[in-house]
Amino acid sequence: MVEKMKAKMVLDKSYKISKVDDRLYGSFIEHLGRAVYGGIYEPNHPQADEQGFRKDVINLVKDLQVPIVRYPGGNMVSAYNWEDGVGPLKDRPKRLELAWRTIETNEIGTNEFVDWANKVNSEVMMAVNLGTRGIDAARNLIEYTNHPGGTYWSDLRKSHGYEKPHNIKTWCLGNEMDGPWQVGSKTAYEYGRIAQETAKAMKLVDPDIELVACGSSNTGMPTFPEYEATTLDLAYDYVDYISLHQYYGNHENDSSNYLAKNMDMDHFIKTVISTCDYIKAKHRSKKKINLSFDEWNVWYHSNDADKKIEPWSVAPPQLEDVYNFEDALLVGSMIITMLQHADRVKMACLAQLVNVIAPIMTENEGSSWKQTIYYPYMHASIYGRGISIKPILNSPKYDSKEFTDVPYIDSAAVYNEENDELTIFAVNKNLENSIILESDIRSFEGYKVLEHIVLRHDNLKATNTMERQSVAPNNVGNTKLEEGMLHTELQSKSWNVIRLKRN
């Protein structure tokens, strides 16, 4: 009989990485495809509320406990006039939406989105247009949303039925401004300057806001990481975060290599941290710039279908990736990577939330359902609040096409001091074999195993549909605790959530 593979881990409550910022579990809704129209909003749907928002979707989003939702784009924001989306519906213009080549009806705009965010208990992370517009539109928008009253834009908000300011705290200074596809894309110098001046004006309107400057659109961009360095060099004193975006795909159908892609994410994060700290040193600054990973996910299944979509339609089914089980494993590993950097990655947005590369899907006039990736995201959001603990993990490793020394096991642990709870997230990337994980958790005295949730399927390509949740978690994990040693068998290709609590 072949002996089972073994991994060892030490978790000590004093090995603190950082408190996890709740906003690490954020998400994203763009005016794109059926995210807004037919996703969160469908006035003729039997489950629509008085504002036309789908209550079934509201409930699924609430179950995810999404703390912050980025809006309104994405690429879309770079040619968006926010004024089109406020005021009486009958006066709102239909526009050509240039990023995705659709028609934007503007039925939903800033105020309605803030209302929706309140309904799902979320904050809004608002992006301003630094593509076709700039300082003026941005300072007017923040006066409209955040100023109490007595000025043109704040009184206009009141006249639109919103007496109290929305007090939106987190703002993105444009979107992916390095990307040639972006309307109004900019060199690093052009962007750094406009980010600096827009940030200055916005903070004059409301000094309490936090601002995210764009970094590179992904690690493959030729100007990465110089784009971050130049932008921060110019805007350092005015911004608080730099953004990271990254999507992965299994184009070559090489699952072992695909599941290792969070190692690229880890390298990306480390490079951006170094870049931030280099500019900090250069400026002799005491201020620290943190990271906002405000677009991350798997995105590739829908690429071909999207090429066939007719331009200039309203809310076509764009970017509707149907996720399989291996995608859920990579999403779990990506979350683990971000938790391991919780001291610097303070915000993150799973892109996106409904219908568009999303954990939640809807049928027009029909039901809504959960994709495979819904589950690791939900587990992390619900159980991953607290202090990220540094796991000292010794796992067997493998090599893949692009990566060497890939640990079969990824793990992160979150300790919630108030609730006396410890949650261990772990992915076993071994496609054939289970691995025995022995964890020394002696510093968590008096803890007991509450449950061991497992997401697993024999078929890496298994998907969920509206009719059938083939990939769904269950509590079949076998974890035992004996004298501070946690004995776990992590099944081959599995996502695991081991929950412990002190009596």
> Minimal distance in Å, beta carbon 479 to ligand AHR?
36
SS3 297: strand
> Minimal distance in Å, beta carbon 72 to ligand AHR?
10
3-state DSSP: the chain helix, strand, coil percent, rounded to 5?
30, 25, 45
> Minimal distance in Å, beta carbon 295 to ligand AHR?
5
Nearest 10 degrees: Cα torsion 304, 309, 315, 317: -30
Q: Which of 112, 295, 326, 421 is catalytic?
A: 295
SS3 445: coil
Q: Which is nearer to ligand AHR, 73 or 215 (CB)?
A: 73
Q: Which is nearer to ligand AHR, 30 or 97 (CB)?
A: 30
| Alpha helix stretches (DSSP H) within 65-123 | 110-119
Report whether the peptide linkage leading into residue 74 is cis, meaning its omega lies within 30 degrees of zero.
yes
Contact 18, 413 (CB under 8 A): no
Q: Which is nearer to ligand AHR, 176 or 240 (CB)?
A: 176
Q: How far apart are CA 365 and CA 380, in angstroms?
A: 31
Q: Which of 30, 112, 176, 326 is catalytic?
A: 176
Q: Which is nearer to ligand AHR, 112 or 176 (CB)?
A: 176
Other beta carbons less than 10 A from residue 293's beta carbon: 28
Name the residue with the smallest CB distance to ligand AHR.
Answer: 74
> Minimal distance in Å, beta carbon 176 to ligand AHR?
5
Cα separation values, 172 from 44, 118, 131, Å: 33, 20, 13
Name the residue with tokens 């619900």.
382
> Minimal distance in Å, beta carbon 354 to ligand AHR?
12
What distance lies between CA 445 and its chain's CA centroid? 34
Rg (CA), the chain: 23
Q: Which is nearer to ligand AHR, 11 or 361 (CB)?
A: 361
> Minimal distance in Å, beta carbon 97 to ligand AHR?
11
Q: Which is nearer to ligand AHR, 15 or 247 (CB)?
A: 247
Q: Which two three-digit tokens encode residue 74?
A: 């994405």
List Cβ neighbours of 206 (8 Å cut-off, separation of 6 or more): 142, 146, 147
Contact 232, 281 (CB under 8 A): no
Give me the residues paired with residue 427 across strands.
410, 495
**Which spans of this chain sit near ligand AHR (rule: CB under 6 A)?**
30, 73-75, 175-176, 295, 351-352
In residues, how long is the chain? 503
Q: Which is nearer to ligand AHR, 30 or 327 (CB)?
A: 30
Give me the residues paired with residue 364 across strands.
none
> Minimal distance in Å, beta carbon 31 to ligand AHR?
10
Q: Which two three-digit tokens encode residue 286?
A: 């005491």
Q: How far apart are CA 424 and CA 141, in angstroms?
A: 42
Contact 9, 438 (CB under 8 A): yes
Name the residue with tokens 């969920």.
464
Contact 210, 241 (CB under 8 A): yes
176 is catalytic: yes
Q: Which is nearer to ligand AHR, 242 or 351 (CB)?
A: 351
Return the active site residues.
176, 295
